[in-house]
Chains A and B, each alone.
Chain A
């Protein structure tokens, strides 16, 4: 598979969608079944190693999914090369920051 593979992006978009769907479903079920009573309980839930890892993976994969989607939109509609490159760069930087922010929140919660 080449570096610029269209198949990889297409496949990743589908795999990340399946993961995100499963995560959201399980999260809703879990929160409905055992709603955390207070902040401490919420913290305990989210820092449980399995949930923490699943959530971190969700944040990263969700951003990857959104990146492929937005990249597709930009490749489709933004024709001038410079503008396209600029738009891709802005989205990439934004998503990178969002990802780091999400992970920072999770790490902070785990260190409490």
Chain B
């Protein structure tokens, strides 16, 4: 099986280049994921660098651009990919080395969404209760693993990563706007209402298309818009 992998080592390379790899057919097993193949290629050339941890689509560390689409290597079945498999780092993010990108700005925008519960009411004896219906509102929002596949696929985030929060952060903004226990809904909506933070989204829906957890940031953004509209009329 053929691979073409983006290589760049800032200490030795003046420019990035694509390197071809071959994985012997005897090594390819049924049910193998792309990450398994990458680990075998790393045995051939241990300078090949990429992030990974859980190997089960939970930690979100091995996001990369696979044959032109962002995804997680650990849950991407090898048999679904057309060879040569072209692997590149996330588009639009600074490359640290090979498939490893600098996600600092991504996390910065996540913090900008203030992804924590704001509730200044006195704490009840046991816990802050929620009706099952209110709890259901958080489904499809809280499951995000912050892999970055969506934001790195969003043209609006490519052009304005410093000012547009990007789909991942906006999904978390929606998660706390929806939360019946949160008391800062008004402030959250107000902070998002400028020309950039939310409104650079043009509904291109790349985010929804690539999310490996099957989440729908584009819909969450639409829901924030609708909530804003309801509040202002």
Contact = CB atoms under 8 A, between A and B. Distances in A.
A76 to B, nearest CB: 5
A75 B193 contact: no
B232 A7 contact: yes
A6 B190 contact: no
Chain A: number of interface residues, binned into ranges: 10 to 19
B50 interface: no
Contact of B232 (A1, A6, A72): A1
Interface residues of B, number: 18
A6 B199 CA distance: 6
A77 B232 contact: no
A10 B226 CA distance: 12
Given A7-B199, A9-B199, A2 B160 contact: no
A20 to B, nearest CB: 19
Nearest to B159: A76
A72 B195 CA distance: 9
Interface in B92-145: none
Contacts of A2: 190, 193-194
A1 B195 contact: no
B194 A6 contact: yes
B190 A7 contact: no
Nearest to A75: B195
A7 B232 CA distance: 10
25 contacts: A1-B193, A1-B232, A2-B190, A2-B194, A4-B195, A5-B193, A5-B194, A6-B193, A6-B195, A6-B196, A6-B197, A6-B198, A7-B199, A7-B225, A7-B228, A7-B229, A7-B232, A9-B195, A11-B229, A75-B160, A75-B195, A76-B156, A76-B159, A77-B159, A79-B159
Given A2-B194, A9-B199, A76-B156, 17 more contacts: A1-B193, A2-B190, A4-B195, A5-B194, A6-B193, A6-B194, A6-B197, A6-B198, A7-B193, A7-B199, A7-B229, A7-B232, A11-B229, A75-B196, A75-B200, A76-B159, A76-B200
Interface of A: 1-2, 4-7, 9-11, 72, 75-77, 79
